[in-house]
Amino acid sequence: MEKLIITAAICGAEVTKEQNPAVPYTVEEIVREAKSAYEAGAAIVHLHVRRDDGTPTQDKARFQECIEAIKKEIPDVILIPSTGGAVGMSAEERLQPTELFPEMATLDCGTCNFGDEVFENTLPMMRDFGKRMLENHIKPEYECFELGHIDTILRLAKKGEVPGAPMQFNFVLGVPGCTPATVENLAFMVRQIPAGSTWTATGIGRAAFPLAAAAIVMGGNVRVGFEDNLYLEKGVLAGSNGELVAKVVRLAKELGREIASPAEARKILGLLPSP
């Protein structure tokens, strides 16, 4: 079984300091949380950015500032900027970080309920995002919240409208209004992807660690972080993203999976060597 790639989603667009004071907003805080996750064992940082007051933004300059600051501290980490942004942002806003030519970026695979809101990802939007990633030689991480999202993105890949094999999927389960975070649902979704693909499991809220354990034994990869879950265990807030990553490392050790370094993760994901 290949080594386990751990992704840390360090801040997201929705969670706040009122919910957990360690949620990062400023550039310095984002670097602190990226470094804590990396030092605990994360090979990848999934990156949203905020204004200093916590307002989510897709501003290219803010992404550049955060990316450069993170890379100064941990130059070999894999960064996956979000093109999801926050609910209600336009496609043009959301695409801004792709102008920085990251080695990877997210591509959301369909419209879905997102709590009380609707997260819009129409087919024309996905084609536009795919075109940009093809042009800028960016490997997408395909974010799938529902079973139909897998079929949708595979059809677009078959037509050459988004990057194809080898594909990396992230199954985000447990978002209110979307697919529940059960092992049965995860296993079913994994069976739908092409041979040779890689995949990651993301459990929202209390599902974070049960889904992580399932992914570890199934041979997949794991995402944790403040974007998805603020708690280390019931009633205990995590003091950093590093604490969440460290818990996954402990689970992996108990279950017999070694942890991938960034260099090993690049090889597994089919990325070019880091310069």
Domain extent, residue 58, equals 6-269
Does residue 166 have a cis bond before it (omega within 30 degrees)?
yes
Long-range contacts, stretch 64-69, CB < 8 angstroms, 24+ apart: 64/100, 65/27, 66/27, 66/30, 66/31, 67/100, 67/102, 69/27, 69/28, 69/30, 69/31
Domain-located, residue 120: yes
pLDDT in tens, 9-57: 999 999 999 999 999 999 999 999 999 999 999 999 999 999 999 999 9
pLDDT in tens, 186-198: 999 999 999 999 9
Mean pLDDT of 216-231: 98
Domain-located, residue 274: no
Predicted confidence band of residue 275 (pLDDT cuts 50, 70, 90): very low
- Most distant CA atoms of the chain, gap in Å: 48
Domain-located, residue 1: no
- Two structure tokens written together for 26: 């400023």
pLDDT in tens, 106-134: 999 999 999 899 999 999 999 999 999 99
Say how many domains are in the chain: 1
CATH number, domain containing residue 132: 3.20.20.70
Domain-located, residue 275: no
